[in-house]
Amino acid sequence: MSDRITLVVRFRISESAKKGFTAKLQDVFTQIVKEETFVEASLVQDMRDPKSVLNYEVWNETPESFMKDQMSKAYRADFEKMIVGLKIERTPAWYSTIAEWKKA
């Protein structure tokens, strides 16, 4: 598949929920890294606003194929339930690469 997307999801998480959120996300990523179309991911925290956490994922997918093929995976269900249960705010955004730079 030649399509490459970057999915950036901003989460707003209370300090009391952050440890459980991070642990559950690590569990999910033990499965995600095995997916054929997965490229890379990172989880970063805003240094000025600890409640703001960004999940950055790169996939060889389209947004449509990602939603159909990846979001339906059984291993994602507990994570999705946790987000709803803890009322964690989530704002996803899709990006396509227009330029790249890498260290030589």
At residue 2 the predicted structure's pLDDT band, cuts being 50, 70 and 90, is low
Identify residue 45 by its one-letter amino acid code.
Answer: Q
pLDDT in tens, 7-23: 999 999 999 999 999 99
Judge whether 40 and 102 are in contact, CB under 8 Å.
Answer: no
pLDDT in tens, 62-97: 999 999 999 999 999 989 999 998 889 999 999 998
pLDDT in tens, 20-60: 999 999 999 999 999 999 999 999 999 999 999 999 999 99
Three-state SS sequence of 17-68: HHHHHHHHHHHHHHHHCCCCCEEEEEEEECCCCCCEEEEEEEECCCHHHHHH
Domains and CATH numbers, the chain: 5-95 (3.30.70.100)
pLDDT of residue 100: 87
pLDDT of residue 1: 42
Name the one residue in this structure whose structure tokens are 């991911």. 41
Identify residue 59 by its one-letter amino acid code.
Answer: W
